[in-house]
Amino acid sequence: MINTLSISEFLQRGKTIPVADARTPLEFEQGHISGAFNIPIFSNEERVQVGTTYKQIGREQAILLGLDLAGCKWSGFIKQALEIAPDKKIGLHCWRGGMRSGAMAWALNLYGFEVYLLEGGYKKYRRWVLDKFTEQFPIFILGGMTGSGKTQVLEELRKQGEQSIDLEGLAQHQGSSYGSMDKLTQPTQEQFENDLATQLDEIDKEKPVWLEDESITIGKRFIPNPLWHQMRQATVFNMVVPLEERINFLVQEYGILNKQFLIDSTERIAKRLGPEQCRDAVLAIKEERIKDFIRIVLFYYDKTYRLGQGKRIPDTIHEVICGNTASAINAKNILNLIKEIHSFSN
């Protein structure tokens, strides 16, 4: 049986059954529905051949070429589908819900699969993603200077029943020049948006959702403008952690990283640090004086953070005094402050 579903119906169904993407590996790598599997009818090169034939000769000749190219692959497609959907229920789409997903659906249906086709294909899904960022969300921002342990506090808030989205986790970057941690690889902008929209779709809008205070860029990824503007207008709970505590926290994170990575990352921000500060920071790295290195670069990052906070509406910022970077205690203090604010306002 083949069922054609709207985007909302398809995504709901996709929570309980696997989703297969019939586009090429290159298209899939550029961006795909979160959690989807790739069963490409054509290779990257074959798709170019079919497209060229369509433009230069015509639709019918392109269809014949497509059938020739895919002809010996159908049993392989079915075997792949069985691996990801052994109960023979599967969601399916291509770029616009056209010939690729239609042909795949025909073959799977013939084998006995229950197939759910996305009307409008991945193109419709991308429209859904971009529309998601225009919705209004009850956002709380977790602020604090570099080294305050914001990511760890976000996790603690989640453990205590709060809603949160780890933007840096989705972007695979910690935001600074050192944010790749010498190991993280960022997704494409398109995939970052897809994964973010998926998490936003799961938010209960009757309760706050916590996001970390970020600049509009996280590494080379951009927070979508509509969401970014909401974040800038949202209430901020700003953790105030002593400098030495933040330095000690960062020593644990960055002290284990490759020296050359730290040097290269420092030199990328040389103009913003200043020539003398950059020189001293690089020397400290070489001499394994990690605390001194961190103290130097924190001066720049703290200044940048203060400038960003200065552009917010003062009444939206609430300071949370934190004696150290103990995430469980700091999360509890933040939630207690919220209770006090609500109690006072009532």
Residues 6+ apart with CB under 8 A from 115: 1, 2, 3, 90, 91, 92, 105, 108, 109
Could you give the domains of the chain? 2-130 (3.40.250.10), 136-345 (3.40.50.300)
Cα(178)–Cα(268) distance, integer angstroms: 10
The confidence score (pLDDT) of residue 59 equals 85
pLDDT averaged per 10 residues, the chain (length 346): 96 97 97 97 91 87 83 93 98 92 94 97 98 98 96 96 96 92 95 98 97 95 97 96 97 94 95 94 96 95 91 92 96 93 67
Cα(211)–Cα(199) distance, integer angstroms: 12
Catalytic residue list contains 94 = yes
Tokens encoding 285: 């790295």
Cα(239)–Cα(34) distance, integer angstroms: 33
State pLDDT tens for residues 248-283.
999 999 999 999 999 999 999 999 999 999 999 999
| Residue pair 165/338 in contact by the 8 Å Cβ criterion | no
Cα(26)–Cα(23) distance, integer angstroms: 8
Cα(185)–Cα(66) distance, integer angstroms: 35
State pLDDT tens for residues 176-214.
899 999 999 999 999 999 999 999 999 999 999 999 999
| Residue pair 256/248 in contact by the 8 Å Cβ criterion | no
The confidence score (pLDDT) of residue 345 equals 58
pTM of the model: 0.94
